[in-house]
Each structure stands twice: as C-alpha cells, then as structure tokens.
C-alpha cells in the first residue's frame, strides 16, 4: 500500500489512537504544544508495530502533515518502524519544499542500501524535480547549488544516475523535462494593470446586500495586500494555444514539478468551435495555468489579490459597483435567457442539469466585449464568462503547494488539500455567483469549460 493510499479520507478512525487524531488536527501553535503532541504521536507509533496496516495509516498522517517538523519526525519513524513503506516515504520527502525534511531523507537514502535498491527510481524522480537540472548537468556537478541540502541532493542524484537500472527506469519516463534551465524571461507588463497596495475586507460588507452565493464569514476578515500587476483580461484561447505550440517545439520547460506525468497541455476545448480564439481559455487544469504563467514570466494571483483587484478600495460587491447589472456580465442569463433570471440554488442546479443534457449552443464570449465591465483599477471580465484559477487553497486559504506527484490524478478527487479557490463566476452562473465575493473550490487537475485564468506579477518581480 502506498503513502497516499494509506492516507485515505475513508479510513476508519475507530482504532486510531487519540494521539494520532490530535496531531492530525493540529495546524499551528507554540513549539512546546507541537512537541508535546508530537511526543504522544511518536509514542503511539511505537505501540502499533504489531499492526502494520494501522501503523501505515498513522504514519501517513505525519508524512503528509502541514508542519515540517511533524513530517520530519514521521519520516524518521517510518524508516525505523515500517520498512515496507520507507522507500516510498523517502522518495516523497525528497521532493518536500522544506529542506529540514529533505535533509534527513537524503541521509537515510545515503546510509541505507535497501532504500536505494527499493526506492531508487522514486528517489531519483524526486531529486531531479527538486534540483531542476538536466541529468547531464547533474552528473557534471553544474548548476547553482547553494545549500547543504543542495549538495546532499546533488551527491545522491549523481549516485543514482550512475546506476544504469535506476537511471534507465527514470530517464525513459521523466514527468517533464526539468524546469530550472529555462529560456530567457518573457515577462512584459503590456496588457496588465497596476493594483496598488491596500487593505482588503474579505467577503460581503456587513449590513450590505447578500445572497445564497456569498461565502461564509472569513476567519480573518481583513488583510493587507501588497502592490501587484494583473492581466487586464483573462488569457485567451489564442494566447494559450501559442504556449502549447511552444511546448511542442521546446519541451516542458515551464511546468510545475508536481505536475502529473505525461501531461498534455492541450486544452480540452480545443476541438469545440464554440470556444473561439478571442474567448477566455477554458478546459485547462491548475497545472496547465501555472505552466502558462511561468512561460510568460508571471504567476497566478492569490485569492486576496484577485478580490482586491475586483473590489477596489471601497470593497464593492461587483467590479462595476454595488448593483447587479446583467448587461455588464456574461452569465446564465446571457446563454440561456429563458427562465427565471435570479434563480435560487435548487432552481439553478436544475437548469444546469438541463444545459448538460442539451449541449448549449453558446458558452464563453469574447474577452473584454462588454463595455463598462471594469473594476476600479481598469481590470475587465473579473466576473462572468469564466471562473478563474488562483494560487490559494480553497478550504483554509493557504498558498497551494501541491505534493501529489506520486498520486494518480483520479485519487485527488475528494482530497481537500487538492482543492483550489476559483473566483468570479462563469457563463453558467446565476447572479448570486456573479459577484466579486463569491468563491468555489475545484480540484487542481480539473479541466472544465467554465474555468480559465489570468496572470499576476508582484511589484518586486516586475522590477527584476
């Protein structure tokens, strides 16, 4: 059983020790509190050595925990207590974004021949993704490796590349050519608008208009947002298709290291004539959007950045003002004008079910085609036409830092930490969702004809 199979939301908690449940529910707090919970968790693992299946499930809780110290200690316990899971756990940890987790994984790999034998291919995959260099450059020791973990990773990667069996198994099936050796930056601020630093009041205004599409109250109602630039319009099909053609010519040089192996960035709507070249791109996953943004020298906006760009300094409900104005936004009332124009949720879902069955003749429209659809910062199409990917995790509002590379994409459905916040509503949305406050969550591998994106650049990034 793999790490990700162990960590299943369907796993019964009936036999799970309470120390494991407590560490699973801990997200942040004083170090002393963490260490106390961690001590209990590690003690519980020691008691479970007679039950390998439950031990594997409980180890997975720590190996996939948000706190680096918990992941580090869980890895050490896995290597010591569960040899059957250790090889995959080490491979997983080698791609961890935190070097305090990668370093002991590298040490375990270096001193344990059995791990190199059983987990060599997965370890080399992870090391190549982290180092971001071509195998030839790693073998030659080329590149800007600046930390102790870099040096250890380089040494381990060179050792594994020297093993013909391991190297052959990996290099014949690399998920993407490696991402650090990129073409010169394509960054241009043309077609972007500046959004100055300011204070964001999240969600609907107290005492203001509300609807069933509004989100629940945020745990942090206000946030400071640094200055940034945002695309004036969403990325179009023509622009995205140019990226796909460049990938075909030059390889996957811009892809996220966690991207599923064998990814084809062609949008799922490419053969559908309803989605014309000047329409916002749809049928792209979060990974597709991230790769396109990197190709441009940009990134996806955070959810707070998106909302500040849409609402301005007066925290308005819609980019153009407080009142819903159907002529300024492409939604369900545009593509299916028959029927109630402001349906409740149940009615809207029934209408969507009818649309799915009849294949509507219209969907997206040209980007920027509706005069007056403009935020206080001159940014257009923020509501309607397409939902837009952000870089923010949906349920907890933290930055999305995916570590799902060893999972089958189908296994991510129902995984809360793989859900990304999308904003703005789409051509299939009713007025309740066509606001600057509505939000939804979609799994990052989803390709939907209703989800597109636009790109952002921070002020600091723009000055480089």
Note the pLDDT tens digit of each residue in 410-439. 666 667 788 899 999 999 899 999 999 999
Beta pairing, strands 222-225 & 439-443: unpaired
The pLDDT value given to residue 180: 37
d(CA 421, CA 401): 13
Question: Angle between the 113-131 and 99-111 helix axes, to the nearest 10 degrees?
Answer: 140
Q: Report the Cα 163 to chain-centroid distance in Å.
A: 34
What tens digit of pLDDT does each residue of 180-225 get? 333 456 788 999 999 999 999 998 887 777 788 888 766 568 899 9
What tens digit of pLDDT does each residue of 242-253 get? 999 988 887 788
pLDDT band at 177 (very low <50, low <70, confident <90, very high): very low
- Token couple for 381: 């199409």
What tens digit of pLDDT does each residue of 260-298 get? 877 889 999 998 999 999 999 999 999 999 999 999 999
For domain 192-462, give the CATH number. 3.90.1580.10
What tens digit of pLDDT does each residue of 44-83 get? 999 998 898 899 999 999 988 988 889 889 988 988 898 8
Mean pLDDT of 340-344: 79
pLDDT band at 173 (very low <50, low <70, confident <90, very high): low
Comparing 58-62, 166-170, 279-283, 364-368, the range with the smallest average pLDDT is 166-170
Residue scoring higher pLDDT (343 or 102) = 343
What is the percentage of the chain residues whose pLDDT exceeds 90? 41
- Token couple for 415: 């995984």
259-262 contacts at long range (C-beta below 8 A, 24 or more positions apart):
259/175, 259/176, 259/287, 259/291, 259/405, 260/175, 260/287, 260/405, 260/409, 260/445, 261/173, 261/174, 261/175, 261/176, 261/405, 262/175
The pLDDT value given to residue 381: 97
d(CA 439, CA 140): 48
d(CA 222, CA 201): 5
Nearest to 301 by CA among 238, 236, 228: 228
Nearest to 3 by CA among 73, 74, 69, 70: 74
What tens digit of pLDDT does each residue of 122-159 get? 777 667 665 655 666 666 655 544 455 556 677 777 77
Nearest to 96 by CA among 105, 107, 87: 105
Per the listing, tokens 């790693």 go with: 138
Give residue limits of the domains in the chain. Answer: 3-171, 192-462
């Amino acid at each position: 059983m793999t790490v990700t199979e162990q960590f299943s939301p369907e796993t019964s908690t009936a036999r799970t020790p309470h120390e494991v449940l407590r560490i699973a529910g801990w997200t942040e707090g004083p170090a002393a509190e963490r260490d106390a919970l961690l001590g209990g968790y590690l003690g519980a693992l020691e008691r479970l050595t007679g039950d390998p299946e439950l031990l594997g499930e409980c180890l997975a809780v720590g190996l996939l925990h948000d706190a680096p110290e918990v992941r580090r200690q869980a890895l050490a316990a896995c290597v010591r207590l569960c040899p059957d899971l250790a090889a995959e756990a080490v491979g997983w940890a080698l791609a961890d974004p935190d070097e305090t987790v990668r370093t002991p994984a590298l040490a375990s790999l270096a001193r344990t021949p059995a791990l190199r034998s059983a987990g060599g291919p997965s370890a080399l995959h992870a090391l190549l993704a982290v180092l971001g260099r071509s195998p030839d450059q790693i073998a030659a020791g080329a590149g800007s490796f600046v930390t102790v973990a870099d040096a250890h990773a380089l040494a381990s990667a060179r050792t594994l590349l020297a093993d013909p069996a391991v190297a052959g198994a990996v290099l014949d099936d690399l998920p993407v050519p490696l991402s650090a050796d990129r073409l010169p930056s394509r960054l241009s601020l043309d077609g972007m608008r500046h959004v100055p630093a300011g204070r964001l009041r999240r969600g609907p205004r107290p005492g203001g208009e509300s609807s069933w599409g509004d989100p629940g109250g945020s745990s942090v109602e206000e946030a400071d947002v640094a200055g940034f630039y945002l695309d004036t319009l969403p990325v179009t099909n023509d622009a995205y298709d140019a990226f796909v053609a460049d990938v075909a010519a030059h390889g996957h040089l811009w892809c996220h290291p966690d991207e599923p192996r064998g990814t084809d960035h062609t949008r799922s709507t490419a053969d559908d004539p309803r989605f014309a070249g000047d329409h916002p791109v749809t049928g792209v996953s979060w990974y597709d959007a991230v790769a396109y943004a990197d190709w441009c020298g940009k990134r996806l906006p955070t959810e707070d950045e998106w909302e500040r760009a849409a609402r301005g300094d007066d925290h308005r409900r819609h980019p153009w003002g407080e009142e819903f104005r159907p002529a300024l936004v492409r939604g369900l009332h545009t593509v299916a004008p028959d029927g109630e124009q402001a349906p409740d949720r149940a009615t809207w879902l029934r209408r969507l079910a009818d649309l799915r069955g009849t294949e509507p003749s219209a969907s997206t429209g040209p980007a920027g085609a509706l005069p007056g659809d403009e935020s206080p910062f001159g940014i257009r199409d923020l509501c309607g036409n397409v939902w837009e990917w952000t870089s923010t995790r949906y349920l907890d509002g933290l930055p999305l830092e995916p570590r799902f590379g060893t999972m089958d994409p189908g296994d991510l459905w129902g995984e809360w930490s793989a859900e990304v916040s999308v904003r703005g509503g789409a051509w299939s949305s009713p007025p309740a969702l066509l606001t600057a406050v509505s939000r939804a969550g979609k799994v990052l591998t989803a390709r939907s004809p209703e989800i597109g994106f636009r790109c952002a650049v921070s002020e600091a990034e723009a000055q480089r």
